[in-house]
A and B are shown apart, each in its own frame.
Chain A
């Protein structure tokens, strides 16, 4: 499509430019959409795949999540025992490296007892690379998130 032809009047009066300027001027007084993030926090949808958590009491150490994980960031081992209040297998150790995690949700999907799940927390920044590896205790009770306060 060729550029729209313009008459002499529009050429000199810059009508289309003025139309644009009128639009931006109106926008100056419209409501704003900014969310002041650390101060205001929008709720994320419950479906959101945030930082992984594991419910220790449900885990049967079946290794399915370890197997399905596309980038091998889940490591666990378990043993058979009856000390945990519930018969069968339980996890003796469980590590998830959140620096490697893709947040794809495959482990959550594959878990037969819904032990591993994505929480709604998304603030996973750490000062130390080793801190991004969560062990069973952190996975069960959640990592320490300090919310910003003024």
Chain B
């Protein structure tokens, strides 16, 4: 008998499909994975500590840089946490505008997820088709928020500035044309036997397991748990719009793919409602003092549904104009921990699929 030994493969931090600087140490038997060790921290910038030394306004740009694919979502989570910490009012017009912007950012984030996920599985064309539509959304961000990626979209009390003229109409046009694009993506993937082979039954996680792991977002909705903070703990204007939660039962990569595709359609629906219900006139920013002195001891945990899942901000006021503590509960970090369970018994090619389906952003994991 020849002696056999485990093959140890170091995947990342420099690897084309670890979506950033994730490092995985894979222990292989042939091409089958027996164990997988996750090493993170290559992108740690100490955002939470930085937040303690900057005032409430100055922290907004830092939140852009955690989950940089869905910056408006992070901004919203932070800003709403500050608002409930200080008890500030937000005008209704700003609430609807925020909801529309955040849903646009959800579409942009899901598009880029689809682009990279499909690219990892080898469908190169999806990358360019998805980024093409994402570019349109980024143009909207550029016009309304001032930047394409690191938007610093909101300020406590509302939006940073009035929406530019013609913006609402342009977004409406996009919303009416975008569902046809989703159909095109689905033509290439949803029924394709290669795509089915690569995703069905890969990385199955049951509903109870998903809850035990603390998964959230599409990861848990793909396992049949209808948990969506937009419905369960409505924030912004989500209690005034009508939409469905996409839930699929199987808990595999294909189910999560279907969840995200359906979420994009629902987002279009939400944006249209927001634009219809948004008051045409009125203030876009409420009254918030220039120097926020929030009484010491007040604390708040505010969660929003980011494209990746439950994005939470736990903040304690210091009495001055800086928070005493700003803890970020990032969905990528919590979702990533299940990769070890998911990858056992799968092949190397599946690890790439799993990283894609968890939809991590390393800025969000390491903060």
A-to-B contact residues, CB < 8 Å? 1-4, 14, 16-17, 19-20, 23-24, 33, 44-45, 47-49, 68-70, 102-106, 109, 118
> Given A1-B248, A19-B187, A45-B143, are A106 and B196 also a contact pair (CB < 8 Å)?
no
Q: Indicate if the CB atoms of A109 and B160 lie closer than 8 Å.
A: yes
Q: Indicate if the CB atoms of A2 and B250 lie closer than 8 Å.
A: yes
Contact residues, B54-72 vs A (CB, 8 A)? 54, 57-62, 64
Q: Which residues of the partner chain A approach B64 to less than 8 Å between Cβ atoms?
A: 104
A-B contact pairs, 16 of them (CB 8 A): A1-B254, A14-B193, A23-B187, A23-B188, A24-B125, A33-B132, A45-B143, A47-B161, A47-B164, A68-B57, A69-B58, A70-B54, A103-B150, A104-B152, A105-B152, A106-B58
Q: Which of B57, B147, B191, B200 contacts A49 (CB 8 A)?
A: B147
Q: Indicate if the CB atoms of B255 and A1 lie closer than 8 Å.
A: yes
Q: Indicate if the CB atoms of A47 and B192 lie closer than 8 Å.
A: no
Interface residue SS majority, chain A:
loop
Q: Indicate if the CB atoms of A20 and B192 lie closer than 8 Å.
A: yes
- Bound together, the chains give a CA A47 to CA B163 distance in angstroms of 10
B-to-A contact residues, CB < 8 Å? 54, 57-62, 64, 125, 132, 135, 139, 142-147, 150, 152, 160-161, 164, 184, 187-188, 191-193, 196, 200, 248-250, 254-255, 258
Q: Indicate if the CB atoms of A20 and B188 lie closer than 8 Å.
A: yes
Q: Indicate if the CB atoms of A17 and B58 lie closer than 8 Å.
A: no
Q: Which residues of the partner chain A approach B258 to less than 8 Å between Cβ atoms?
A: 1
Tell me how far the C-beta of A67 lies from the nearest C-beta in chain B, rounded to whole angstroms.
Answer: 9
Tell me how far the C-beta of A122 lies from the nearest C-beta in chain B, rounded to whole angstroms.
Answer: 10
Q: Which residues of the partner chain A approach B161 to less than 8 Å between Cβ atoms?
A: 47
Q: Indicate if the CB atoms of A47 and B60 lie closer than 8 Å.
A: no
Q: Which of B142, B147, B187, B249 contacts A1 (CB 8 A)?
A: B249
Residue among B58, B139, B160 having the largest count of chain A Cβ atoms under 10 Å = B58
Q: Which of A33, A49, A104, A118 contacts B60 (CB 8 A)?
A: A104
> Given A24-B125, A105-B152, are A45 and B187 also a contact pair (CB < 8 Å)?
no
Tell me how far the C-beta of B55 lies from the nearest C-beta in chain A, rounded to whole angstroms.
Answer: 8
Q: Indicate if the CB atoms of B61 and A3 lie closer than 8 Å.
A: no
Q: Which of A23, A33, A47 contacts B142 (CB 8 A)?
A: A47
Tell me how far the C-beta of A97 lies from the nearest C-beta in chain B, rounded to whole angstroms.
Answer: 16
Q: Which residues of the partner chain A approach B187 to less than 8 Å between Cβ atoms?
A: 19-20, 23
Tell me how far the C-beta of A11 lies from the nearest C-beta in chain B, rounded to whole angstroms.
Answer: 8
Q: Indicate if the CB atoms of B142 and A106 lie closer than 8 Å.
A: no
Closest to A103 in B: B147
Tell me how far the C-beta of B139 lies from the nearest C-beta in chain A, rounded to whole angstroms.
Answer: 8
Tell me how far the C-beta of A19 lies from the nearest C-beta in chain B, rounded to whole angstroms.
Answer: 6
Q: Indicate if the CB atoms of B144 and A47 lie closer than 8 Å.
A: yes
Residue among B62, B139, B191, B192 having the largest count of chain A Cβ atoms under 10 Å = B191
Closest to A19 in B: B187
Closest to B143 in A: A45
Q: Which residues of the partner chain B approach A1 to less than 8 Å between Cβ atoms?
A: 248-250, 254-255, 258
Q: Indicate if the CB atoms of A48 and B188 lie closer than 8 Å.
A: no
